[in-house]
Amino acid sequence: MHDILINWAPQETRVAVVENGAVQELHIERTLERGLVGNIYLGKVARVLPGMQSAFIEVGLERAAFLHVADLHGGGHQHGHPARSDVAVPVPIERQVFEGQTLMVQVIKDPIGTKGARLSTQISIAGRMLVFLPQDTHIGISQKIGSHETREQLRTRMQRLTATTDGTGTGGFILRTNAEDASDAELADDIAYLRKTWNAIRALGVSKPTGTLLHEDLNLAERVLRDLTNEATQSVRIDSKLQFDALKAFGETFTPGSTAKLDLYKGERPIFDLFGIEEEIARALARRVDLKSGGYLIIDQTEALTTVDVNTGGFVGARNFDDTIFKTNLEAAGAIARQLRLRNLGGIIIVDFIDMVRDEHQQAVLAEFRKQLGKDRTKTTVSGFTQLGLVEMTRKRTRESLAHMLCQPCPTCEGRGQVKTARSVCYDILREILREARQFNPKEFRVVASAAVVEMLLDEESQHLAGLSDFIGKPVSLSTEPSFSPEQYDIVLM
């Protein structure tokens, strides 16, 4: 069982999923930085790139968005392989779209770093229990739903409901896991709502210019009721009366089963302070994660992948060293799975568990890791141990990680995590003065640098500075600039 806490402010909504007193998930949405996944735009093809089988689409965002041939509706396949007639061959993108063409597109991946948003022309609209596919006709059922017989019964019910709801039967549907126990009335309400939403989108698409946002996904608080609230949820507590009323109205319309769990928090202390979530957010931004046993994790997030290193630290509680390692790795397996959810880390993840001699220990740790990852709402895939004793895994990435959302690279080291020593900067300055002395003939060279660099030039490096001054035949003066970073300097020709 878990509780969901919602901390609302006009500029930001924060959601924490708490289970057994520990935060399992954190979701943050800023009003000015709302994610774009699910948004539907009327786009214009700016450029077709046959070599990449992609196109850049202008949708009114800061950067042009990206459409790959695989994300075109219908898959873009034609039959007719040079050697085999039964093989479907992709239709090149340059034969499907052209520059200046207007396309209705949906964002399937947010812009991350320097990459523009990724788009699809296969539109889908999520409801409470169903996902509507207006361009398709099939009925899909989540594989997580019960037995084969249950899925077939649901498919038959859906075929009946979609055919009789408005007499047309247009559009396809995918049943989400929470549709398993839904009544016909609930399914019919969702079908009607989704078709009504699609009709409104289609009408806007005809009347609006390119670059128009036609449809936006629900805000975070509404998605809590639609996606996060289930039978295991004890309560959904929110600290804003205004948003509580809005959520209650939304819930009564779309998620009547979850409205009873809504609770208005009226305490004087901020809701996140009361449950220690502010401290948890601070810990989720740190490199080091301490384990209860005395071991610890080091988590490093880079452009290409995320690495997690497991260390025994001060843990010496087991009978022998093998048991110490095994118990630390078992505890780390659960902690890593939780940290991936908490930090919303995605892409390639490499876990360096402490080397284990016994094969059964390796398999037990791997089984525990997979079990803990099974709690994740986001799709994960885990490989076994490599020859180097590493575990490779992937976690689907759709939105920015917590660190990327809340932090920015250090302006001093620009994300390197280290800066040059004062002595290194001194030698850079001495080389630069010599270089400039060969090109220019000023009366004097003035060095402007940080206090630590100037201090070293006046003290430990004063002999080298004096020697250089004699060699070039010009005086060199020093000036401290408090606002300069350790690596920053300027050489002024006087």
Rg (CA), the chain: 29
User: Residue 351: CB partners within 8 Å, gap ≥ 6?
Assistant: 307, 308, 310, 336, 369, 390, 391, 393
- CA–CA separation, 399 vs 131, rounded Å? 20
Structure-block tokens of residue 141: 């059922």
List every span in the chain annotated with CATH 3.30.420.60: 2-34+219-278
- CA–CA separation, 459 vs 420, rounded Å? 18
The residue count of the chain comes to 494
CATH 3.30.70.20 holds for 422-493: no
How many CA atoms lie less than 13 Å away from 253 in the CB half-sphere?
A: 11
- CA–CA separation, 313 vs 292, rounded Å? 11
Q: Which of 407, 456, 405 is nearest to 428 (CA)?
A: 456
Q: How many helices (H) and strands (E) does the chain have?
A: 13, 26
List every span in the chain annotated with CATH 3.30.230.10: 123-211
CA distances in angstroms from 338 to 39, 177, 220, 332, listed in the order given: 29, 23, 21, 10
pLDDT at 76: 52
- CA–CA separation, 182 vs 163, rounded Å? 18
- CA–CA separation, 113 vs 397, rounded Å? 13
Q: Which of 13, 20, 17 is nearest to 4 (CA)?
A: 17
pLDDT at 77: 52
pLDDT at 87: 52
Sheet of strand 489-493: strand arrangement: 476-480, 445-449, 489-493
For 380-432, what is each residue's pLDDT tens digit?
Answer: 899 989 999 999 999 987 678 898 889 888 888 888 889 999 999 999 999 99
pLDDT at 82: 46
Averages of pLDDT over runs of 10 residues in the chain (494 residues) are 94 93 91 87 94 93 92 65 54 93 94 88 89 90 79 88 64 84 83 87 91 90 86 92 94 82 92 90 92 92 92 71 89 96 94 93 95 88 92 86 88 86 96 94 94 95 95 94 94 92
Q: Which of 301, 311, 399 is nearest to 350 (CA)?
A: 301
pTM reported for the whole predicted model? 0.71
How many CA atoms lie less than 13 Å away from 69 in the CB half-sphere?
A: 18
- CA–CA separation, 325 vs 353, rounded Å? 9
List every span in the chain annotated with CATH 3.40.1260.20: 422-493
CATH class of 123-211: alpha beta
Residue type, 161: L
pLDDT at 115: 84
What is the CATH topology of the domain spanning 2-34+219-278?
Nucleotidyltransferase; domain 5 (3.30.420)
List every span in the chain annotated with CATH 3.40.630: 286-401
Q: What CATH number does domain 286-401 carry, 3.40.50, 3.10.450, 3.40.630, 3.30.870? A: 3.40.630
